Structures are given as structure tokens and as C-alpha cells.
């Protein structure tokens, strides 16, 4: 099977290829090609929230959906499912950077060549072959005028040298912080690259509630 087969199977579940890289010995998963999967927009959130996992009242519907779907894609394509949650812990951030499709942003968050600061990973497929790796795109922040992410956080919690987690949570407890809770992180929303990736605010609100219950 090839990456194109994974992409086709993933798209049927509103997932897309977010990076390709070769496995290394330190990854502890054997040889092969890792195909990273993230939400395909537009349309991901309406698709996933219509599935049984979001209607059964059980916790962690998005992770349970991801596990089911990524395992099915792996079976269909002759690969192995790898998940960014549970055990064993997989180094998805390191894989994202090694793929050449994601980079460290000025506020230290991952930024993706297509999804901007809205980048997320729902899983990966390990294909047994060592397939060709595409040439990486340029770092999107290198051509970003003004770098609005640096000044976007109303709590000044995300700056170029640190992330003040306590300040972030404290702000989200205020009335003003409800904008971030409902619409998503102001820093992520400020990214010009992410504006071309139409993630629904309802999805951002879901992640914010999980981050700040």
C-alpha cells in the first residue's frame, strides 16, 4: 500500500495526511513510513459529532472515535495504527517536526504548513515500506507579516520564551476569558495560516472545555 491509499481511506472519515516520515530506531515501532493524520477541513466536526461515540454518553468521544477509525484505516491499508493518547506514549510532536510539515511557531506552539496553529493529530499509520518523503514546504512563519500570534494572548500567557499555564487558566475563569472558551484560543485564531483552514468554533470549544473543565 502507498500513502495515496491511506489518504483515500482517511478522507472517507474527514481525515487528511498531515505529514510523512521514516520511523527511526528511537521511535520503538520498527521500520517503515509513518503517515500522520489530522482533521480534513471543512467538514470534520459535523462528520465526527454524528458518529456513535458522540451519542452514547460515554467519556472521551473524540479519542474513542479516533481509535476506532485509525485502526480501521490501518487494517484497510495494511499498516499499523498509532495513537497520540493512551499507552504506550507516542512522540507525535517530535514526529510532526521530523515530517517537515510542522514547525515551532514564535509562541512555541506547533504550526502546520496548512492548518497553521489549528494543527492537531488524530493518529498515524505505520506502513511497512520505506516510501519516498515529499520535499517539505517553507516555514509559514518566515513570511508572516507582523507575527500577530506574539501579541494575541489577552492574558500574556504565550510569549516567545515561555508558556505561563497558570495565567492562562486564571484568565479562562474570568468573564473576558469566555470568548476563548467559546471561540477557541485567541493565539491560535490569530494565525493567518490558520484562517485558511476553516475549523469550526464548536470544535475549538470542545478542546477548550477538555483543557479547562
Mean of pLDDT over the chain: 96
Q: For residue 159, name the pLDDT band (cuts at 50, 70, 90).
A: confident
Of 192, 183, 114, 190, give the one whose Cα is nearest residue 150.
190
Q: How far apart are CA 13 and CA 8, in angstroms?
A: 9
Of the pLDDT bands very low, low, confident and very high (cuts 50, 70, 90), residue 137 is very high
CB 109 within 8 Å of CB 159: no
Q: What would the grid cell of residue 116 be?
A: 497553521
Range of the domain at 84: 3-211
If one counts every other C-beta atom within 10 angstroms of the C-beta of residue 177, the result is 19
Residue 209: pLDDT band (50, 70, 90) is very high
Instruction: Give tens-digit pLDDT for 78-107.
Output: 999 999 999 999 999 999 999 999 999 999
Do the Cβ atoms of 77 and 13 come closer than 8 Å? Answer: no
Give the predicted TM-score (pTM) of the model.
Answer: 0.95
Average pLDDT over residues 173-179: 98
Give the contacts of 16 (CB within 8 A, at least 6 positions apart): 7, 10, 37, 38, 39, 40
Looking at the 3D structure of the chain, how many domains does it have? 1
CA distances from 15 to 37, 41, 42, 47, 85 (A): 6, 8, 10, 10, 17
Query: Is residue 10 over pLDDT 80?
Result: yes
- Terminal CA-to-CA distance of the chain, rounded, Å? 41
On the question of pLDDT at 1 being above 70, the answer is no
Other CB atoms within 10 Å distance of the CB of residue 209: 11
Amino acid at each position: 500500500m502507498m500513502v495515496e491509499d491511506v489518504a483515500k481511506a482517511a478522507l472517507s472519515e474527514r481525515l487528511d495526511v498531515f505529514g510523512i516520515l521514516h520511523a527511526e530506531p528511537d521511535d520503538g515501532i520498527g521500520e517503515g513510513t509513518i503517515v500522520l493524520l489530522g482533521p480534513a477541513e471543512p467538514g470534520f466536526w459535523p462528520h465526527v459529532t454524528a458518529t456513535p461515540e458522540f451519542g452514547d454518553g460515554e467519556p472521551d468521544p473524540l479519542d474513542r472515535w479516533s481509535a476506532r477509525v485509525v485502526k480501521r484505516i490501518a487494517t484497510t491499508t495494511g499498516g499499523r495504527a498509532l495513537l497520540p493518547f493512551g499507552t504506550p506514549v507516542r512522540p507525535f510532536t517530535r514526529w510532526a517536526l521530523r515530517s517537515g510539515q510542522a514547525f515551532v511557531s514564535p509562541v512555541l506552539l506547533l504550526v502546520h504548513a496548512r492548518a497553521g496553529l489549528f494543527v492537531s493529530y488524530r493518529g498515524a499509520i505505520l506502513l511497512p515500506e520505506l516510501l519516498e518523503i515529499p520535499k517539505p514546504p517553507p516555514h509559514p512563519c518566515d513570511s508572516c507579516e507582523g507575527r500577530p500570534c506574539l501579541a494575541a494572548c489577552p492574558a500574556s500567557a504565550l510569549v516567545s520564551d515561555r508558556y505561563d499555564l497558570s495565567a492562562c487558566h486564571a484568565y479562562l475563569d474570568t468573564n473576558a476569558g469566555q470568548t476563548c472558551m467559546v471561540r477557541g484560543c485567541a493565539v491560535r485564531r490569530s494565525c493567518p495560516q490558520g484562517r485558511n483552514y476553516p475549523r469550526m468554533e464548536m470544535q475549538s470549544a470542545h478542546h477548550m472545555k477538555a483543557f479547562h473543565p
